[in-house]
Amino acid sequence: MSQLDALKRHTLVVADTGDFESMRRYRPQDATTNPSLILAASQMPEYAPLVDRALSGAKAAGSSSASTIAEALDRLSVAFGLEILKIVPGRVSTEVDARLSFDMEGSIAKARRLIGMYEAEGIGRERILIKLASTWEGIRAAELLEREGIHCNLTLLFGLHQAVACAEAKVTLISPFVGRILDYYTKKTGKTFTPTEDPGVVSVTRIYEYFKHFGYTTQVMGASFRNVGEILELAGCDLLTIAPKLLGELDAAEGDVPRKLDPEAAKAARIERIEFDETAFRRLHTADEMSLAKLQDGIDGFTKAVVDLEKALEAKLAAV
């Protein structure tokens, strides 16, 4: 048995990619996308028809260049999601524009727009997760969307305070970023961490145990891995979203994968409950140097990917 198959006994495996062939090869339950992944995929020749269809549909619907590009971005995100749903049996995560990360009303409007586009194609809400950044505004947007039956995946999550706020808001899923936490502490300390002491692994383990101990229904999906060791240390996490390169390493390696995260053990642990309002959330976030820095870095990175994708679409539109 490969380590990938062994891992699937404990954890739902999700593909972290916009590459359809990788999904077909590794047979994940769900798939996640983000602006960087869609930007990369949209520049590959095999996905040119998706880009062309998004642009032609947007051109027919839009009245100005700016509105055409905005429409094309939404259409392209949904187009990738629709193709992914032909491959995976579960759900696809589609991300709200990172430039709306601190705009609650804008995020809600964009989420409704994306869900409406999926529904127009015959896809039910149960198969879509709307990705929002784990800002206070993003969490509040997700809370309202969940009440409407629009399920959310809160991304760019680095601290326990963000995770607990998401759970209290009853969001469907959170995606704590393991590898980016490791990146931060490796740069800060110059230390090489083993998988068991990896700060990202420690963070996700703490979040998982907190959720299971207090009976939250929000699922934990570890994300942004740098190596297979991080993944194996989180075997038993509700879900893990894994890039094709690491899926390939797991698939090529044989051996058992013991469960590391156990809900029953978490229930028996001694854990202190955290309670806070917006003021306390912002205080905790400001005091957490790593979470503060990495959240903004993530928003900036995804924003750049969106802007670069817009430029690519504008260039293609001008050439038509």
Are 134 and 155 in contact by the 8 Å Cβ rule? The answer is yes
Other Cβ atoms closer than 10 A to 295: 25
Q: Where are the alpha helices (DSSP H) in the chain?
A: 3-7, 20-26, 35-42, 48-61, 65-85, 104-120, 136-147, 160-168, 178-189, 199-214, 228-233, 244-252, 263-268, 278-287, 289-319
Say what angle helices 289-319 and 35-42 make with each other, to 10 degrees.
30
> Could you write out the three-class secondary structure of 239-251?
EEEECHHHHHHHH
Are 316 and 55 in contact by the 8 Å Cβ rule? The answer is yes
Are 175 and 238 in contact by the 8 Å Cβ rule? The answer is no
- Active-site positions read 131
